[in-house]
Amino acid sequence: MLNPLARWRHDIAATLSLALPVMISRAGILIMVMVDTAMSGRSGASEIAYYGVGAAPLITMIVMGVGLIISVQIICAQAVGAGDTRECGSVWLAGMGYAAVLGIAMVAMTSFPEFWLSKFGQSADIVAGAAPVMYALGWGLPAVLAFSVCNLFLEALDRPLPGMVVMIAGNVLNIAANWILVFGNAGWPAMGAEGAAWATTGVRVIMAIALVVTVLVSVDRARYGFGPWHGSVFRISRRIARIGLPMSLGVGLESSAFATMTMLAGVLGATAVGAYTIAHNLNALVFMFGLGVSTAAAVRTGNAQGRHDAAGLRRAGWVAAGIGTVVLCVLGLLLLLFGPALAALYTREAAITALTLSIMPIVVAMLIPDGLQVVLIGALRGADDFWSGAIAQFVGFWVVMVPLGYWLGVTTNGGVHGLLWAVLIGAVVSSIMVLARFEWLARTRATEFANVLNHRKPIEP
């Protein structure tokens, strides 16, 4: 038996060992988008706006799809905590089925980009430039979902390194592909933002194949129920939907709200949407580190939920929140220090650079509340609370942020500064709601688990 201090140290070490490679993996997702955006901006003043607007609707689709299949990780993490891992293979198979169905539906939707972009009130020039970007990226969405299922599955088994390695390799390959397609090297014509989109789609397909092969080759088939499949795939598919739908709704609400803010920036003009896109990219990159800690929180609280360990669940959530806060504070300071250099990577346009630097302090202030809410939402998910996060995100981002952003940014001519103040306020509201909910949940789980453990000996962590 570990003493209380040793348990806290154990939880910190276990969370960090899982969170660090996951943070790198999650950051790699945004680094790919940042590289695309930066290299597109280097190819022409308007290309950064084309890529930002063309990619924005797809980000919502991706996060909603990934939100659904996050339940693969939750179910497997709880099974590992309970000491019953044989259904994990069927969970993976069901998740891959969802990835295929959702991916095909997304490709169909993105085959008509002009229709969707014109609904957001964008100018004819931006629609014409952004539509090929949206179309090209759409073909890579099934691969994004397949990669995510495999990555989430491996992370639930405490094997985050394969996803990290594949993500790093994918980013290197993406830079090379962009150099060819964006700027027109190696005999290819210069395609600007559209070239960046096709390069990313190709890389995503390669990454998905690599991780599917990793799962099939490296996972202990007997222990995790691979071939013959252990458990009903249809029953597990229903459970994935039951758990995943509220998570998909929550992240979809958040992402669609942020996509709406990008569209509001587009209404303000090319300079505004360029600066907002750069600022949002940098914020999102740092946010991905918070998302990595959130994944660790979900796995660790999921393990505790499977063991019916209320004290372990509480420690897992608050340890993750503390680690996430420290990480985001450090990264926020780095963002302030290197803001000019980072902005210069995206564009040579002096007006866009100046506007980006003027909004950077607001971007940094957003990091803590935005990161804290996503970490604790991960902890809530691992503890089988799937609706509270969705409700908090709806209130914070749709009830507060979007209307306030329209008023501060457009109606009162506050511009991009007004939009970002609205984002900050919405993130604060959401984080307060999930913080209060997790504290309440951690206390009530103690009573619930005590009743269960009267009939079953707990499993030691």
Q: What is the pLDDT of residues 124-173, one digit of tens each?
A: 888 888 899 999 999 999 999 999 999 999 999 989 999 999 999 999 99
State how far the Cα of 207 lies from the Cα of 170, in Å rounded to an integer. 6
3-state secondary structure of 308: coil
Identify the pLDDT of residue 453: 55
Which of the residues in the chain have pLDDT under 50? 457-461
The answer, as to whether pTM is greater than 0.95, is no
Q: Is 457 left (phi over 0), alpha (psi -120 to 50) or beta?
A: beta
Exposure on the CB side of residue 87, measured as CA atoms within 13 A:
24
Q: What CA–CA distance (Å, rounded) separates 459 from 307? A: 6
Q: Is the dihedral of CA 413, 416, 417, 422 positive or negative?
A: positive
Quote the pLDDT of residue 58: 85
- Helix 339-346 vs helix 4-43: crossing angle, to nearest 10: 40
Q: Where are the beta strands (DSSP E) in 109-215?
A: none
> pLDDT tens, 392-441?
989 999 999 999 999 999 889 888 999 999 999 999 999 999 999 999 99
Listing DSSP states for 262-279 in one string gives HHHHHHT-HHHHHHHHHH
Q: How far is CA 169 from CA 69, 86, 172, 175, 285, in A?
A: 24, 31, 5, 10, 18
Q: What is the pLDDT of residue 413?
A: 86
Distance CA 291, CA 296 (A): 9
Residue 93 and residue 237 in contact, taking contact as beta carbons nearer than 8 Å: no
Q: What is the DSSP string of 14-59?
A: HHHHHHHHHHHHHHHHHHHHHHHHHHHHHH-TTHHHHHHHHHHHHH
Give every CB contact of residue 147 below 8 A, 6+ residues apart in sequence: 163, 166, 204, 207, 208, 211
